[in-house]
Chains A and B, each alone.
Chain A
């Protein structure tokens, strides 16, 4: 069985604060992919990152960074110096190697205020 847990339902920060969105997953597969998607108020989900299970290197893309730790089955997402435009719902997702569809967490709603 596959499961993705995003324990934080809503987070509110003030602009320029750093914020970390947590993602914990469960899978019996040895090969799998982890994702983060952003859903801004407009509604269309936007792909942010894909990470396969054999690559535990952390990744940084501008103000975004991801920390993948297989030992704790976590794939956390940090936004540094948050901005109002970061306000969105963020989804963590898991894809089994042999399957086609993503299993999504319930999402974390991030509100960044000026």
Chain B
């Protein structure tokens, strides 16, 4: 069974702390993504990566960075957490099919709910 695992379901941090959200997938997928989900705003893309050490900004990258040192792991970093980063963070992965075809089907983790006080 395919699996995307996020390291923490619930985190509480203080303003100014550095926060790491970890995501691991066991499907050998090339693409990995970080979204945040907020009521009334749906899912918004923060960053994505289509290969090891590669990253691309999504729609709302400000205040975040990412790291992809290994194919199976994609980390989201909040350098200095702020209260407006209180949210549900969703990690996802997707395969790159043959001949460069990317159909975009995503496999999601259970989410990490972050509260910044």
Residue among A43, A101, A103, A106 facing the most chain B CB atoms (10 A cut-off): A101
Say whether B76 faces chain A, with CB atoms less than 8 Å apart: no
Count of A residues near B, CB < 8 Å? 25
Chain A residues positioned under 8 Å from B90 (CB to CB) = 45
Chain A residues positioned under 8 Å from B44 (CB to CB) = 104
Chain A residues positioned under 8 Å from B50 (CB to CB) = 100
Knowing A100-B31, A104-B42, the reply to whether A44 touches B111 (Cβ < 8 A) is yes
Chain B residues positioned under 8 Å from A95 (CB to CB) = 102-104
| B104 x A101 contact (CB < 8 A) | yes
CA distance A17 to B111 in the complex (A): 31
Residues of A near any B CB (own CB < 8 A) = 6, 9, 33, 35, 37, 42-47, 50, 52, 91, 93, 95, 99-107
| A101 x B103 contact (CB < 8 A) | no
Chain A residues positioned under 8 Å from B43 (CB to CB) = 91, 104, 107
Chain B residues positioned under 8 Å from A46 (CB to CB) = 108
Cross-chain contact of A101 among B40, B41, B58, B111 (Cβ < 8 A): B58
Residue among B48, B104, B111 facing the most chain A CB atoms (10 A cut-off): B104
